[in-house]
Structure 1
Amino acid sequence: MVKMKSITSVSVTFTEGKTITEVVGSTVMLPCNQSVNKINQLTWTMNSKTLLSYRPGGLLYTHPEAERLNITMSLSESERYTLIIKRAEKNHTGNYTCEATIAEKGILEQTWELIITDHEQTGNWIIPLIPVAVIVPCVCCLIFIFAMIILRRSCKCRAKSRHPTAEMRKQPEDIYENCLEIDVRQRSSHPQPHHCNHRAQ
């Protein structure tokens, strides 16, 4: 979204940046129209407080607020005019504006909203996963153990139904012994005739 307005014959172009959310301790880099090469002056502000001022061919002036917040600006070709915050803290949260004065174009402004959050806030979604990661394997192990117990019991029942018990094996032997006893009794109750051999006279 670009807005144009003139203030005493000086045009000001506002370019809206975007909201950036970073974690405490991270390095934050806010670009400032890297395509702009010919500028008369460039200023970075935070919540309307001046942080850095730069004139081509001159020195980069760092204001006390930038020193306090440990904020610098890159002048390299790849990251020209990029605001750099090393080891960001929560007090770095705010609106950052890059204001570039360009010959024949007026003033170009670009604003970024920076939000710095704690490690705990960004990692809150991990905390509920810890009990789940512990409980799920335990439940799976219990299910496996119960399944093995049921399987072993069913196998034992099948084995018993296929093979006769020791008592069933003894039954034919008992029947055989009973038959022998009956035969012996019958013989004792009906004695065999005794044959006598007479001597010849």
Structure 2
Amino acid sequence: MVNVSSYFGISCTVTCFMLWIFWPAEATILTKVGDGVKLTCSNNSLSGLNQLTWKMNKQMLFSLKEKGNRIHNSTLAADLDLKVLKSENELYSLVIKNIQTSHTGNYTCETSTDSGVFEENWELVVTEEDKSSSTSLIAIVAAAVFVFVLVIIGIVLMCFGQWKWKNENPAVSVRVKSKRIIKQQPEEIYENDLEIEQHAQTSRSGRR
């Protein structure tokens, strides 16, 4: 019993280790709405290519049989506006422009070559843009502009009120000026009387 249990324990460990090595690794890509992403299969998996398939959540997007042949597009790829590049440097890369939340999911590139079958996986996580900060900034700017406009309106109303009051009460300013003139008149008359009296005395003394 001991030998059997130890044998199964070793076999289980070896099996788990082999699965961990050969199980296709999955990369997680975090992106925001409106960004762009390009997924590229390994160059090694494209040598001696017999068939290539792009999938999203296990649903076929693009299919190619033999290198250089026409790529077959699915309706799902057309709805999501997905493209496949055909350049030599980026052969059969999956391109997603203007990412939306509907693009969130698991993407798989399956290739069948003369060397064997290969599979690469990506998990695309799309987050919506945080609009709270931009909304707060807009609110602050709007409040500042509103306060500034109120201050300008207050200054204009004060100036207009003073101008209107002066136009409606012109007699007040005239009275103030006339009072100042009346106060100066007795001093001028008194000085004139003194000059006349001095002149009369001088003329009398001259006659004697």
TM-score with structure 1 setting the length: 0.54
Of the three residues 27, 34, 39, the one matched with 1:16 is 27
Is residue 62 of structure 2 the alignment partner of residue 52 of structure 1? yes
- Aligned partners of 1:11 and 1:186: how far apart in 2? 134
The 5-angstrom pairing of residues 169-184 of structure 1 reads 174-181=186-193
**Identity of aligned pairs, percent?**
19
Residues 33 and 101 of structure 2 are in contact (CA less than 8 Å); yes or no, is this contact kept in structure 1? Answer: no
Aligned to 2:166: none
Residues 26 and 123 of structure 2 are in contact (CA less than 8 Å); yes or no, is this contact kept in structure 1? Answer: no
Q: Which residue identity is paired with 1:44?
A: W
1:62, CA displacement in angstroms?
3.0
SS of equivalent residue, structure 1 residue 99? strand
Note the residue ranges of structure 2 that are not aligned, 5 or more in a row: 1-15, 159-175
Q: Which structure dedicates a bigger proportion of its chain to strand?
A: 1
The 5-angstrom pairing of residues 71-86 of structure 1 reads 71-85=82-96
Is residue 135 of structure 2 the alignment partner of residue 127 of structure 1? yes
Residues 74 and 81 of structure 1 are in contact (CA less than 8 Å); yes or no, is this contact kept in structure 2? Answer: yes
The 5-angstrom pairing of residues 29-68 of structure 1 reads 29-33=37-41, 35-36=43-44, 37-38=46-47, 40=49, 41-57=51-67, 58-68=69-79
Q: Deviations over 1:6-46 (max 9, x none)?
A: 46xx93441514122223xx7x4432235444154332221
Q: Deviations over 1:96-152 (max 9, x none)?
A: 2223445547524130314274xxx55554333334333324544666798999xxx
- Aligned partners of 1:116 and 1:183: how far apart in 2? 102
TM-score with structure 2 setting the length: 0.53
- Aligned partners of 2:17 and 2:85: how far apart in 1? 29
1:171, CA displacement in angstroms?
6.0
Residues 5 and 12 of structure 1 are in contact (CA less than 8 Å); yes or no, is this contact kept in structure 2? Answer: no
Residues 53 and 62 of structure 1 are in contact (CA less than 8 Å); yes or no, is this contact kept in structure 2? Answer: yes
Of the three residues 118, 127, 146, the one matched with 1:107 is 118
Residues 45 and 98 of structure 1 are in contact (CA less than 8 Å); yes or no, is this contact kept in structure 2? Answer: yes
Q: Which residue identity is paired with 2:72?
A: Y
Distance 1:116 1:77, change over 3 A: farther
Distance 1:179 1:185, change over 3 A: same
- Aligned partners of 2:87 and 2:123: how far apart in 1? 21
Q: Which residue identity is paired with 1:43?
A: T
Note the residue ranges of structure 1 that are not aligned, 5 or more in a row: 150-164, 196-201
SS of equivalent residue, structure 1 residue 33? coil
Q: Which structure dedicates a bigger proportion of its chain to helix?
A: 2
Distance 1:51 1:145, change over 3 A: closer
Give aligned pairs, total: 168
- Aligned partners of 1:88 and 1:15: how far apart in 2? 20
